[in-house]
């Protein structure tokens, strides 16, 4: 009895195409005028149209977003002590005169600092480090896409120096 059951299973596995109701219709599926073919055709056209629309929107709005991201200024420079050695860990504070917005950076081990994505306009910048006097540069203007360089030469002592440009 067990062999008969195995034979039935094998027969079904070998002849599933004959027993499957939709498989016998498969060759007729692509006949001209088939409703199913038409619905697949329409679905594929809509999918292509939607994909093209998404790609177009990404192209239009993606480039405008990228262009607005470049409408900012940048600032870099070095911080030195009286002996000319680079000052690591100096605090650089950039303040927008119009809005009062502050950006703070720190000089790297080589004494360099970088501040990016600055809104164009009039700014003031200062550099300070504990044990060394602070230096401030006020009222300088940054334009769109400008990269300015301001170097600081800090003096030893507690007094602060202010430079007006």
> 40 vs 35, 49, 51, 53, 57, CA distance in Å?
9, 14, 16, 20, 26
Return the higher-pLDDT residue of 22 and 6: 6
pLDDT tops 90 at residue 68: no
| pLDDT for the residue numbered 98 | 86
**Where exactly are the structural domains of the chain?**
2-67, 73-164
Which fold does the domain 73-164 belong to in CATH? Answer: Immunoglobulin-like (2.60.40)
Tell me which residue of 153, 161, 150, 157 sits closest to 87, measured CA to CA: 153
pTM (two decimals): 0.54
Q: Tell me the percentage of the chain whose pLDDT exceeds 70.
A: 65
pLDDT tops 60 at residue 22: no
DSSP letter string, 71-94: S-EEEEEEEE-TTS-B-TT-EEEE
CB 122 within 8 A of CB 98: yes
Distance of alpha carbon 61 from alpha carbon 45, whole angstroms: 24
């Amino acid at each position: 009895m067990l062999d008969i059951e195995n034979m039935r299973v094998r027969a079904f596995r070998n002849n599933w195409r004959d027993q499957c109701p939709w498989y016998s219709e498969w060759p007729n599926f692509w006949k001209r005028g088939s409703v199913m073919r038409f619905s697949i055709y329409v679905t594929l056209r809509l999918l292509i149209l939607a994909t093209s629309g998404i790609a177009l929107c990404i192209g239009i709005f993606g480039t405008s977003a990228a262009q607005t991201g470049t409408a900012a200024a940048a600032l870099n420079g070095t911080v030195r002590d009286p002996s000319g050695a680079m000052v690591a860990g100096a605090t650089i504070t950039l303040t927008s005169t119009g809005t009062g917005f502050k950006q703070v950076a720190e000089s790297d081990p080589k004494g360099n600092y970088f501040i990016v994505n600055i809104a164009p306009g009039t700014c003031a910048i200062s550099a300070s480090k504990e044990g060394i006097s602070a230096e401030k540069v006020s009222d300088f203007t940054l334009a769109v896409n400008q990269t300015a360089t301001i170097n600081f030469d800090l003096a030893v002592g507690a007094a602060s120096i202010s430079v007006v440009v």
